[in-house]
């Protein structure tokens, strides 16, 4: 009996080791971006479309280009703290390489080879175009260095075990599009909604593991902090016209003469910086959802 338990224990340890190896943090190939040159001006468009400032600027600051992090996000899994992504080489991302930056965006992998928590929306950014990754990197390097240390997450067991995120990624991380897009305008809208804008991260409910429910995509979700509900964007939940949606994304004003509040006000503050063509593309894609 003792011998059998020993063998079972060894097999269990071996199985865990194999599982961890199979779900180890992925990185992009070091030559993938070798032929691409970054354009900081185009990277600024990606920055606003991606909502980077909404999470990474200081919680009490109005400066959208100062990104020391620190904002806290309360969820049922614990509290996540946005890190410093300024160009500071010690506390920010100033000493990262382009490949390390791309691995973070596309695979949720840190330069140290650890899994990032999906509070960082890499499940959406995984669909980013390579040129946009390079351009965003070029733009971020032009922003000020801020020497503030990133704050730790406050998570309880088992959610504080990062190695388990490899298995989570195998279930919920992919780069396939969720919905079809038949025209160039809808393709642009889909890219802004599903990839850069990561709209589904908030507007889609999640299962008990924290993965998005594909069967209820963009149908609205409980607020992560447990107060209120984030509205749906599918036609059955939103009867605005495409022009109404585009105007709301520009100004924050609804067709009913109300205005955006809370986190959505911050989204409007960044999406409002995009071109009118991009905002209309977002609106047309939302209207095309089934």
| pLDDT tens, position by position, 243-279 | 999 999 999 999 988 888 888 888 999 999 999 999 9
Q: Determine the structural domain holding residue 58 and report its residue range.
A: 27-175
Distance CA 30, CA 21 (A): 21
pLDDT band at 3 (very low <50, low <70, confident <90, very high): low
- The answer on 167 and 249 residing in a single domain is no
- On whether residue 204 sits in a domain, the answer given is yes
Angle, vertex CA 79, rays to CA 51 and CA 202, nearest 5? 40
pLDDT at 251: 94
- On whether residue 278 sits in a domain, the answer given is yes
Rg of the chain over Cα atoms, rounded to whole angstroms, equals 20
How far is it between the farthest Cα atoms of the chain?
74
Q: Which of 113, 140, 175 is the last residue of a domain?
A: 175
- The answer on 160 and 40 residing in a single domain is yes
pLDDT band at 285 (very low <50, low <70, confident <90, very high): very high
Question: pLDDT, tens digit, for every residue of 156-194?
Answer: 888 888 888 999 999 999 999 999 999 999 999 999 999
The yes-or-no verdict on residue 12 having pLDDT over 70 is no
- On whether residue 7 sits in a domain, the answer given is no
pLDDT at 276: 96
What the block records as the tokens of 281 is 């593309």
pLDDT at 86: 96
Average pLDDT over residues 19-38: 80
- The answer on 200 and 85 residing in a single domain is no
Question: pLDDT, tens digit, for every residue of 194-227?
Answer: 999 999 999 999 998 899 998 999 999 998 877 7
Strands 229-230 and 78-81: unpaired
Q: Which of 113, 144, 175 is the last residue of a domain?
A: 175
Percentage, residues of the chain above pLDDT 70? 92
Q: Which of 142, 175, 208 is the last residue of a domain?
A: 175
Total number of domains constituting the chain = 2
What the block records as the tokens of 264 is 């959505």
- The answer on 143 and 96 residing in a single domain is yes
- The answer on 169 and 38 residing in a single domain is yes
- On whether residue 17 sits in a domain, the answer given is no
- The answer on 253 and 156 residing in a single domain is no
The yes-or-no verdict on residue 288 having pLDDT over 70 is yes
- The answer on 243 and 266 residing in a single domain is yes
pLDDT at 277: 97
pLDDT at 282: 97
Task: At 229, give phi and psi (nearest 5°).
Answer: -140, 140
- The answer on 223 and 154 residing in a single domain is no
- On whether residue 233 sits in a domain, the answer given is yes
Report the side by side order of strands in the sheet with 154-155.
72-75, 78-81, 154-155
Q: Supply the pTM of this predicted model.
A: 0.90
Q: Which of 169, 167, 154 is closest to 77 using CA atoms? A: 154
- On whether residue 189 sits in a domain, the answer given is yes
pLDDT band at 131 (very low <50, low <70, confident <90, very high): very high
Q: What is the 3-state secondary structure (H, E, C) of 24-78?
A: CCCCCCCCCCCCCCCCHHHHHHHHHHHCHHHHHCCCCCCCCCCCCCCCEEEECCE
pLDDT at 156: 87
- The answer on 218 and 154 residing in a single domain is no
pLDDT band at 23 (very low <50, low <70, confident <90, very high): low
Q: Which of 81, 54, 56 is closest to 68 using CA atoms? A: 56
The yes-or-no verdict on residue 15 having pLDDT over 50 is no
Average pLDDT over residues 129-139: 98
- The answer on 244 and 137 residing in a single domain is no
- On whether residue 62 sits in a domain, the answer given is yes
| DSSP code for 235 | T
pLDDT band at 20 (very low <50, low <70, confident <90, very high): very low
- On whether residue 16 sits in a domain, the answer given is no
pLDDT at 62: 82
What is the average pLDDT value for the chain, to the nearest integer?
A: 90
pLDDT band at 19 (very low <50, low <70, confident <90, very high): very low
Could you tell me if residue 198 is left (phi over 0), alpha (psi between -120 and 50 degrees) or otherwise beta?
A: left
What the block records as the tokens of 124 is 């959406």
- The answer on 51 and 103 residing in a single domain is yes
Distance CA 27, CA 13 (A): 26
- The answer on 135 and 209 residing in a single domain is no
């Amino acid at each position: 009996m003792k011998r059998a338990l020993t063998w079972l224990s060894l097999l269990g340890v071996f199985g865990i080791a194999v599982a961890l190896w199979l779900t180890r943090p992925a990185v992009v190939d070091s030559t993938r971006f070798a032929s691409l040159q970054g354009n900081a001006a185009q990277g600024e468009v990606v920055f606003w479309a991606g909502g980077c400032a909404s999470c990474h600027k200081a919680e009490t600051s109005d400066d959208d280009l100062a990104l020391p992090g620190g904002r806290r996000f309360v969820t049922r899994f614990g509290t996540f703290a946005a890190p410093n992504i300024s160009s500071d080489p010690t506390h920010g991302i100033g000493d990262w390489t382009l490949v390390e930056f791309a691995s973070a965006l596309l695979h949720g992998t840190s330069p140290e080879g650890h899994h990032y928590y999906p509070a960082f929306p890499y499940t959406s950014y995984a669909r980013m175009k390579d040129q946009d990754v390079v351009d965003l990197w070029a733009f971020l390097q032009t922003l000020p260095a801020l020497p503030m240390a990133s704050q730790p997450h406050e998570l309880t067991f088992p959610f504080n075990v990062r190695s388990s995120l490899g298995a989570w990624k195998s279930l919920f991380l992919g780069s396939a599009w969720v919905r079809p897009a038949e025209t160039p305008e809808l393709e642009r809208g889909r890219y802004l909604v599903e990839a850069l804008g990561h709209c589904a991260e908030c507007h889609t409910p999640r299962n008990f593991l924290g993965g998005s429910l594909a069967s209820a995509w963009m149908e609205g979700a409980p607020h992560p902090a447990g107060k209120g509900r984030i509205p749906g964007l599918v036609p059955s939940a939103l009867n605005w016209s495409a022009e109404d949606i585009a105007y709301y994304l520009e100004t924050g004003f609804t067709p009913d003469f109300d205005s955006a509040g809370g986190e959505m006000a911050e989204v409007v503050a960044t999406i409002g910086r995009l071109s009118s063509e991009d905002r209309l593309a977002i609106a047309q894609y939302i209207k095309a959802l089934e």
